Amino acid sequence: MDTTSADTVSAPIPFAVLGLGRMGRLYAETLRDRVPAARLIAAADPDPAARAAFAVEHPGVDLFADPVDALDGVDAVVIATPTRTHHPLVIAAAGAGRAIFCEKPLALTVDDTRAAIDAVDAARVPLQVGFMRRFDAAYVRAKALIDAGSIGEPIVFESVGRDPFCPRPEYADPVQSGGLIVDMAIHDFDLARWLMGREVERVSAEGALLVCDDLRAVGDIDNASINLRFTGGALGHVEVSRNAFYGYDIRSEVLGTEGALTIGQHQQTPVVLLDRQGAHHDVVPYLMERFGDAYRAQLDAFVTCLRDGSTPRVTGEDGLAALAIAVASTRSQRAGGQPMTVADVLSDTSDD
């Protein structure tokens, strides 16, 4: 019998997950099952019921009510708490010297985002923001084709992001989430910058509450249409919706000077039923069916950065830039579609 030892293989990196809502549980599960180089050893949530349920699924993980307590003894944290609490936890984790993976956005305002980035910079810890789409096979391929010159110079960006159900008002409340545009379109804004290789200069947005009546109480909208103007005159557009009851509909396009790319499709399972009523197939149901592999890949990439000391592919500055576009768009939408510049948002210390 041959025997092998593990000496040459690095020990897994100990992680804590902060926040055990939907995203926190997703990150925990991904770390446990699909990122062998990480080991989930701690988790935190103020809700005892959430902790109890988590304990059943993740035996052996230490659980805390206060997320700051979970920072002890880990090398890295995943911050998946409610959005408003992201930046204080980034600052706390940086202060404790932990590597930080933070769900988008880092904060709801430019000032708070900058404070988080400053803390990270001061502590010289790695920070990655959770724009998982950059790790999706389709978007990765599109980026590679653009970089290879397949469509010439990219000049028009289009993106559609639609969720399959109305959110709970407590979640969607703009005070908690930043509102529809910050919560959803921020992913498209990050893609816009990344795929176009340009910054957004000016935006104008229309929005309305059309379907999800429960959101009226918290003052949010459920649909928005946002025009983008990039440096150099390139154009873009993002449409987001809470009410695509047929499925999770994420698609983007880039038109270049020599060609174009379309990214995303409706069909999930490659089966088509043909009957007297026509042809029928299913539709991507929701987030994990579409981006489950991307969630794994972004954590893998983060862990790789921790191991080899490289800089995460999605930085705090990326998080700030996408937030600023979202804040400008939200202001434009509230101002009846008046164009807003991103520079104004970045220089305005009183941003909402």
**Least distance (Å) between residue 140 CB and its own copies:** 9
**Least distance (Å) between residue 136 CB and its own copies:** 9
Q: Which residues from 135-194 bind its own copies, rule CB under 8 A?
A: 137-138, 141-142, 145, 150-151, 155-156, 158, 160, 162
**Least distance (Å) between residue 108 CB and its own copies:** 24
Phi and psi, residue 162, nearest 5°: -130, 130
- Count CB neighbours of 75 within 10 A: 18
343 binds its own copies (CB under 8 A): no
Distances (CA, A) of 283 to 98, 115, 287: 40, 41, 12
Distances (CA, A) of 302 to 110, 267, 293, 347: 24, 30, 14, 31
Helix (H, G, I), strand (E, B) or coil at 169: helix
**Contact mark string toward its own copies, 91..130, x via CB under 8 A:** ----------------------------------------
Residue closest to 191 by CA, chosen among 325, 296, 78, 83: 325
Q: CB-wise, 70 or 324, nearer to its own copies?
A: 70
235 binds its own copies (CB under 8 A): yes
User: Looking at 17-25, 86-94, 117-125, 237-245, which segment touches its own copies (CB under 8 A)?
Assistant: 237-245
337 binds its own copies (CB under 8 A): yes
**Contact mark string toward its own copies, 266..285, x via CB under 8 A:** xx-xxxxxxxxxxxxxxx--
Site for its own copies (CB under 8 A): which residue of 20, 100, 119, 263? 263
Q: CB-wise, 124 or 279, nearer to its own copies?
A: 279
Tokens of 34: 């699909």
Q: CB-wise, 279 or 308, nearer to its own copies?
A: 279
CB 159 within 8 A of CB 192: yes
Is 10 exposed, middle or buried (CB count within 10 Å of its CB: 0-12, 13-18, 19+)?
exposed
Q: CB-wise, 83 or 241, nearer to its own copies?
A: 241
CB 273 within 8 A of CB 279: yes
Residues 6+ apart with CB under 8 A from 292: none
Tokens of 204: 């104008």
Q: CB-wise, 64 or 101, nearer to its own copies?
A: 64
Q: CB-wise, 190 or 249, nearer to its own copies?
A: 249
